[in-house]
Amino acid sequence: MAADVYERVMDLARRRGFVWPTSEPYGAVAGFIDYGPLGAMMKRRIEETWRSFYVVREGFYEIECPTIGQEAIYVASGHVKGFSDKMVQCPHCSEYLRADHVVEGGGRCANAATLDEAALCRELQGLACPACGDIFGPVEVFGFSLMFQTSIGPGSQRTGYLRPETAQGIFTDFSRLLRFYRDKLPFGATQIGKSYRNEISPRQGMIRLREFTQAEAEIFVHPLKKAHPNFARYADYRMPLLAYPQQQAEAPAVEMSMAEAVSSGTVANEYVAYYLALTHEFLCRVGVSPGRLRFRQHLPDERAHYACDCWDAECFSGRFGWVETVGIADRTDYDLRAHAAHSGDAFTVFIQYPEPIRRSETRVVPRMGALGPRFRGQAKAVADAIAATDPTVAADSAGFTIEIDGAPLEIGPDLYDVREVEVEVQGEEVMPHVIEPSYGIDRILYAVLEHSYDEEPVEDGTRTVLRLAPPIAPIQVAVFPLMNRDGLGEVAVSIGDELKAAGVMAEYDDSGAIGRRYRRQDEIGTPFAVTVDYDTLEDGTVTLRDRDSMHQVRIPRASLAETCRMLCAGQAYFAELE
């Protein structure tokens, strides 16, 4: 089954309303999907589980920014200049392809994204085009911008872009977030929403989309204080880590605790280690198989130049191999520094010392006795500008130039002194570093579907089942009348209403034989089923069935709603009822 599990999963997803081709009557476009009724519900449940970790437990409030941003944002972030992939056009069929993916698929290089255009051209020459099968021969590789460009307002007066990530909105809101968090580090903000990348040739279904959902947290920390305040929560948490030395030696991942990972230098600091462990816990919670999950450290030539450390959570797919679903990075102060340079805002935090300190500093001191008679009403403005001048500039015996009301003003050496002064310092301005866990919700959802998909032999054939975790299953409890007569249907409907009132997503189904109804619900991952029969009318009990074991127990109707609520929240387990 492993070889064609992708086809089976996607066939189920299309038939049962998880994922559909978008704009199907007009011809589906690669890189876009529609979530059907069950897929949309499951996706929301994964997002809510993510919020339970980052917003509820970690206390990082969520914001929501526009999906279109003005050009200046993406000039500052570097996306306009450098956010591109290397593309090649097949000389035979004219298909556009991503060059590094072709090289990797041809087995020439495991990490072709690190190769430059010339190296990719050499590697491509002897490979076959995935679209038509002909050998490429001499080709040209060139950059293709992944940004969707648009115009803001009439007449194309202002250029905008669909955001390629949700992070930039958090960065541009930094000053307001800082005030919201009472000017104290560390603090964080989260955002879940759509991002857009104009992929060259998306051929991997839900794995590579042009419109996708990201869930990102940006955690702002003191650059010299990267000991996580709650690190004890995950210090003993053990998980396999595939660090770059193991990759270079082609050795397997090494299981270690987060405390060992930090102390050995495998992980850069406690913040990165903390979110590695949190991500592992989250992915296992939503249904990723621990045996098909690994955390891979970026190789030195793969890691972004500004990152201190970067890891990918990768889920294994029978079709696509190891697929990145989450990136956890220490981005240092790169983003804030870039926005500060382009916008003119400070993007810093004032850190007050416990006690003021006195120190000697070189300052430019204006001579007020000379400034007053010469500049009169402007004397104070001139003095402030002089005092703000860099002492190394003012040390020039020829003087320097300042700007007053937009006009340049020459300041001669007779108007100031450069000298050492003793000052009392209350604190310092610090530009925070950013820790970023970035989750691809669509890829996580696909990984959960594939990892939960199962087929098993039963007496009457093969049972197809999605073993979805109860908290993320789109339908949590199915309610069946044994037969739709003698009042059984009415009782089943009222039980469904009771379950919904308890916050449990319940579905009533009276169509077909009871065994067929069980199979339908097993196939879409419904964890539990309630059957109303004639005993229910006699003694007020119902049959509760567990999807995975297919075991059944009878419980009183009076306790059913609370029991199901606890089962679906992971606060109780079916085996305890048996």
R_g (Cα) of the chain, nearest Å? 30
Among 344, 280, 269, 342, smallest CA distance to 310 is for 269
The alpha carbon of residue 547 and the mean position of all alpha carbons in its chain are separated, in whole angstroms, by 31
Report pLDDT digits (tens) over 130-166: 889 999 999 999 889 999 999 998 876 799 999 999 9
Contact of 129 with 95, CB cutoff 8 Å? yes
Q: Is the pLDDT of residue 458 over 60?
A: yes
Sequence-separated (6 or more) residues with CB below 8 Å from residue 160? 68, 69, 70, 71, 149, 150, 151, 152
Taking CA atoms, 129 is separated from 115, 120, 136, in Å, by: 19, 14, 6
Query: What CATH class does 475-577 carry?
Result: alpha beta
Alpha helices of 297-434 — where are they, by DSSP H? 334-343, 368-375, 379-387, 391-394
d(CA 225, CA 436): 16
pLDDT digits (tens, 9 = 90+) for 185-206: 999 999 999 999 999 888 788 9
Query: Could you give the residue range(s) of every CATH 3.30.720.200 domain in the chain?
Result: 355-426
Mean pLDDT of 490-504: 97
CA of residue 66 relative to chain centroid, distance: 17
Vertex 32: Cα angle to 437 and 97 (nearest 5): 90
Q: What is the DSSP string of 242-260?
A: E-HHHHHTTPPPEEEEHHH
- The pLDDT-based confidence of 2 (bands split at 50, 70, 90) is low
The topology under which CATH files domain 355-426 is: 3.30.720
Residue 561 host element (H or E): helix 557-568
CATH 3.40.50.800 positions along the chain are 475-577
pTM of the model: 0.88
Which run of H or E residues covers position 409? strand 407-411
Query: Which pLDDT tens digit goes with each residue over 48-104?
Result: 999 999 999 999 999 999 999 999 999 999 999 888 889 999 999 999 999 998 998
488 in the Ramachandran plot: left (φ > 0), alpha (ψ -120 to 50) or beta? alpha
> Buried b vs exposed e over 351-362: b needs ≥16 C-beta within 10 Å?
beeeeeeeeeee
For the stretch 244-275, pLDDT in tens is: 999 999 999 999 999 999 999 999 999 999 99
Pairing of strands 400-404, 541-546: unpaired
How far are the Cα atoms of 209, 237, 293, 317 from residue 322, in angstroms, in the given order? 17, 23, 9, 6
Q: What is the DSSP string of 11-49?
A: HHHHHHTSEEETTGGG---TT-EEE-HHHHHHHHHHHHH
